[in-house]
A and B are shown apart, each in its own frame.
Chain A
Amino acid sequence: GAGVSQSPSNKVTEKGKDVELRCDPISGHTALYWYRQRLGQGLEFLIYFQGNSAPDKSGLPSDRFSAERTGESVSTLTIQRTQQEDSAVYLCASSPSTYEQYFGPGTRLTVT
C-alpha cells in the first residue's frame, strides 16, 4: 500500500514569505507527527495529532508555526514570515496506536 507522502519535496522561499507543507499519512493511522531536522542534526519534535484529541503543540518553536489536521487524514504545517533559521528538512510520520512510526520522505525548505 501507499506510504506517507509529503509535498513539495523541495521548497525555496524568500525570507518573510509564508509556506505550507503537506503530509498525507497512511490510511487508518490515528497519530501524525511533524519533526524538523536541521542539517546534520537530530529530529526536533514540533507537533503531534492523535485522533480527535487536542494536538500536542509543545514543540512548536514560535507562534509563526502552526499545523492543522482534518480528522485522521491530511495535515498541513504552516510557517508564516519565514526566517533563514527555518531552513531545514521537515519530516512527517504517521502511526497506528502503539506501533512504530512510518516516515515520509520529508520536505526540504530553504529560506533565502
Chain B
Amino acid sequence: AQTVTQSQPEMSVQEAETVTLSCTYDTSESDYYLFWYKQPPSRQMILVIRQEAYKQQNATENRFSVNFQKAAKSFSLKISDSQLGDAAMYFCAYRNRDDKIIFGKGTRLHILP
C-alpha cells in the first residue's frame, strides 16, 4: 500500500523569506500524480500545485514550486517570498492509478511578520 510521509509537523518562516516543506512517499507504481493542498483556518482545502510522475520538469505555480525526485520518492514544496496569507496546514497527497488518493499528516506553516 502506498504511504505519504510529512516529517515536519510545524514550520515557521519570516515573511518574504523562502521555506521548503518536505514530503516522501512509498509506492511500487511508476505512473501516478502528486499534489500539495493548503488548508487555511477556514478549513477549505485548496489545491496549490500538481505534478505528474511521468514529467521530469518540476511544476511551478507563481511563488510555489516543487522539487520532484522520482527515484528518491521525494516531493518537496518551496514557497518563495512568503506572505502572511500562506499561513495554513499543507498536505502532500498521492493519487494512484486506481484514483485512490492518500494524504500525509500535514505540516502547519507559520509566517512570522
Contact B103 A43 (CB under 8 A): yes
| Contact surface of A with B, Cβ cutoff 8 Å | 31, 33, 35, 37, 41-43, 45, 48, 50, 56, 89, 91, 93, 95, 97-101, 103, 105-106
CA distance A98 to B102 in the complex (A): 14
Q: Report the separation of the CA atoms of residues A23 and B24 in the bound assembly, to the nearest whole angstrom.
A: 31
CA distance A91 to B42 in the complex (A): 13
Q: Name which residue of chain B comes closest to A33, CB basis.
A: B101
Is B35 a contact partner of A100 (Cβ separation < 8 A)? yes
Question: Are A97 and B45 in contact, with the CB atoms below 8 A?
Answer: no
Seen from chain B, the residues whose Cβ lies within 8 Å of a Cβ on chain A are 33, 35, 43-45, 47, 50, 91, 95, 98-106
Residues of B near A106 (CB, < 8 A) are 43
Q: Are B43 and A105 in contact (CB under 8 A)?
A: yes
Note all chain A residues with C-beta closer than 8 A to B102.
45
Task: Determine if A103 and B100 form an interchain contact, defined as CB atoms under 8 angstroms apart.
Answer: no
Instruction: Verify A105–B103 contact, CB threshold 8 A.
Output: no
CA distance A98 to B34 in the complex (A): 11
Ranked 6 nearest A-B pairs via Cβ: A103-B45, A42-B105, A43-B103, A42-B106, A100-B47, A31-B99
A31 vs B96: C-alpha distance when bound (angstroms): 13
